[in-house]
Structure 1
Amino acid sequence: METFWITTAAALWGAGTGLLIPRPAYRLSVLSEEPWRTTCPAGHPLDWLRNEWLGRARCTDGDTFGPSTPVIALVMTVVCAVLAVTTGGRPELLVWLLLAPVAVLLAAIDFAVHRLPDVVTLPLTALAIGGLGGAALVPGAGGSWRTALLGSLTLGVCYGVLFLINPKGFGFGDVKLAPALGAVLGWYGWGVLLLGTFAGFLFGALYGVGLLLARRAGRKTAIPFGPSLLAGGFVGILFGSHTL
């Protein structure tokens, strides 16, 4: 019964936060050095009376745009519910639920413009490290803050080396995402860190192959890699939580 209520609360949290993501996703989906969006694609001003940052992307003319609100809300509901089922009542669940909307926001932006903005990735890292540090102080925590810190540092360095070796095939935004992923995956140990990292690269490869087979991309076409890395982190969390 406890698991049912935890899962229900997590699903409601996911649905609620999912409704808030489309507007910031649209506003932040700009190329580097460009200002955040203040108008819809047709040039109408955003409807500031509703909310400047949170909620559906709607302009004063009544048009909606950006990522689909129902789709984002559904994804968030499923993600949070699955996290609750696997993690149970352990204190790190709260951290996962706080990180989930930020991760989905990043994925939506990267799909739109192939970019992971610092204004989102840096707070994600701070929230991951700080949140897990707090969870480690609560009885019943399922991981280690020490390995989370080491994982954050290790993955950050490894991704930095990959960027130096092949800057055209590995974005610097992915490098700045690495410390957050390393902390999350390292929380459950080095095995989970390796698994989640491998899963992220595997998802990226499968996505690229799928685009090639569908003739929607060529061999030199850039693809968003952040969503795959985040999906790998999700797989790592589920595996680490389930095997405890």
Structure 2
Amino acid sequence: MGVVVIILAAAYGAATGLGLPRAAYRLAVEPGEPWRTHCPDGHPLQGWFGRTPCGRAPHGPGGAGWAPAVVSAAVCAGLAGAGGTRPEAGVFVAVAPVLVLLGIVDLAVHRLPDVLTLPLAALTAALLGVAALLPRAAGTWRGALLGGAALGAAYLVLFLINPAGMGLGDVKLALPLGVALGWYGWGVWAAGAFLGLLYGAVYGLAALLTSRATRGTGFAFGPFMAAGALTGVLLGGFGA
């Protein structure tokens, strides 16, 4: 049964990942600019799910490569392997492709759109609320809500201390990540929160040591936050 669940989750991740390039291309714009409605060759983009139709699109944000599908499939398979048939595993697998999409956009334009982060927080909290009512649930909805509020508040403090080093998009992304981490308790929450900061710090230090960045160079922090939260959820799932 476990292998079947993992295969199904990987298939879901791959299928949704194949549809992410169009949304990523449309959302990867600078702050204040409208979402893209046309591909680089001028053709209108219909809908938000699918590949971008123009030949030059794969070389820009949201290109039609296989990377989003591979990453999404791997993440969903890992979450299914950790959570098994417990109801929260279905929630984490369901929302994982949105994190992949956010990572693509953040890497492209250093931006985490509110149209994704805030609904993701509400959706994750609502789905975990349903999961808490089902048999075999291994976490608590109260812990999830408190975790989201706590991680959001922690990142808000970091933003107020150093606005140049932390964006409001990171603060908003902390809400759904904190909800997911809080589900398994404060130990998992602390591990995921710390690992997100650690991953980002290691990357920043490596960039400095290899002269690929200076002390004032900014980089996309959202993917590291998501990676830390994913690690924490995996630890919590296997532990449960």
Instruction: Report the TM-score, using the length of structure 2 for normalisation.
Output: 0.95
CA contact (8 A) 2:29 2:109 kept: yes
1:56 alignment partner in structure 2 = 51
The 5 A counterparts of 1:1-244 are 2-40=1-39, 43-48=40-45, 51-59=46-54, 62-65=55-58, 66-68=61-63, 69-244=65-240
Shift of 1:145: 0.4
Alpha-carbon separation, structure 2, partners of 1:229 and 1:174: 8
Q: Deviations over 1:155-209 (max 9, x none)?
A: 1111111111111111111111111111100000000000000000011011112
Alpha-carbon separation, structure 1, partners of 2:89 and 2:37: 35
Alpha-carbon separation, structure 2, partners of 1:109 and 1:103: 10
Alignment length, in residue pairs?
A: 237
Shift of 1:64: 3.1
Alpha-carbon separation, structure 1, partners of 2:111 and 2:14: 25
Runs of 4+ in 1 over 4 A off after TM superposition: none
Instruction: Report the TM-score, using the length of structure 1 for normalisation.
Output: 0.93
CA contact (8 A) 2:27 2:36 kept: yes
Same amino acid, percent of matched pairs: 51
Alpha-carbon separation, structure 2, partners of 1:75 and 1:162: 29
Alpha-carbon separation, structure 1, partners of 2:175 and 2:67: 28
Shift of 1:213: 3.0
Shift of 1:219: 1.1
Counterpart of 1:155 in structure 2: which amino acid?
L
CA contact (8 A) 1:46 1:57 kept: no
CA contact (8 A) 1:47 1:58 kept: no
Q: Deviations over 1:87-145 (max 9, x none)?
A: 10000111111110100000000000001010000111011100100100101001110
Q: Deviations over 1:35-85 (max 9, x none)?
A: 111233xx422454xx421111223xx433234530111111111111111
Q: Is there any run of 5+ residues in structure 2 with no aligned partner, and where?
A: none
Alpha-carbon separation, structure 2, partners of 1:199 and 1:225: 12
Alpha-carbon separation, structure 1, partners of 2:98 and 2:79: 15
Counterpart of 2:32 in structure 1: which amino acid?
E
CA RMSD of aligned residues (A): 1.3
Counterpart of 1:190 in structure 2: which amino acid?
W
Counterpart of 1:55 in structure 2: which amino acid?
G
CA contact (8 A) 1:184 1:237 kept: yes
Counterpart of 2:213 in structure 1: which amino acid?
A
Counterpart of 2:214 in structure 1: which amino acid?
G
